[in-house]
Structure 1
Amino acid sequence: MYFSSRKDLWMTIIIWLFALLFIVPPVLFPDFGVWMTPGVLNKQWIKIVILWPVGFCLLWIWFKTGYTIKNNFLKIQYGPFKKEIRIDKIQSIRETRNPFTAPSLSMNRIEVNIEKYNTVQISPKDIDGLIKELEKRNPDIQMKN
């Protein structure tokens, strides 16, 4: 079962702004940023090689952030980054609005506690559906608020 990530407006603006800034200017405006770069980096191809992967990685994160429950695992994909959590190892879940980095595109998150100091924050669109599916597979999960 797949759960897509919730996407906040501010995160949408930041990711798309930086992705476009890293992809478009090196191609359409070869002299863009000449005043900022040393002489060796003024070559257009070097800018493309350095900036394009960052821009495309941001788009990858935008389009491929989601959470899958399959075979007793919660699989988290955040662009090129992946993590698997055994559902039977999940101890508790609580709602949070922690602004720190997490594999999510929204501030409306749930914190999944796997072990005493091992947590991950995710932001599925259907938080209740994900929690119900996890509780169905592991009834020992505690809900905290």
Structure 2
Amino acid sequence: MYGATSVIIFFILTHIQYQIEGKKLVVFTLFKKWTIPISEIKEIKKNYSRHIAPACHFDRLEIFYGEDEKIYISPKDVEGLVRGLLEVNPQIRVDFL
């Protein structure tokens, strides 16, 4: 029983993807897809919270966008993703790097 549950959790956590597609950040999970216009991203912070989110571990980025929306992500290549977002929208505030 525990083995099957562990395999399912592992499968879900390892099938999270973050991609920059043109002028959008796309976050894919097994069950949901978020599409965030990069022009609406205002700020990116490091965050170590334990909120349930499409992030594999607790070393996360918190992305603030839209009016009052945010999403937690944990890309493998943090610097690469942030630099890609900044290329599209250099107005994004980043509190690290």
Shift of 1:109: 0.6
Higher helix share: 1
TM-score (norm 1): 0.59
| DSSP-derived class of the 2:65 partner | strand
Two-structure CA RMSD over aligned residues (Å): 2.2
> Offset at 1:62?
2.9
> Counterparts in 2 of 1:102-113, with a 5 A limit?
102-113=53-64
Q: Which has the larger radius of gyration?
A: 1
Letter in 1 for 2:36: I
Match of 1:89 in 2: 40
> Could you say what secondary structure the match of 1:105 adopts?
coil
Contiguous gaps of at least 5 residues in structure 2: none
Task: Tell me the percent identity.
Answer: 25
More strand by share: 2
The one of 5, 20, 23 aligned to 2:4: 20
Give yes or no for the alignment of 1:71 onto 2:22.
yes
Deviations 1:66-113 (A, max 9, x none): 101012110001212111000011011111101111101111111100
In 1, Cα distance between equivalents of 2:86 and 2:33: 22
CA distance in 1 between partners of 2:68 and 2:74 (Å): 20
4+ runs deviating over 6 angstroms: none
- Contact 1:63–1:79 (CA<8 Å) still a contact in 2? no
- Aligned residues, how many? 96
Find the residue that maps to 1:131 and give its secondary structure: helix
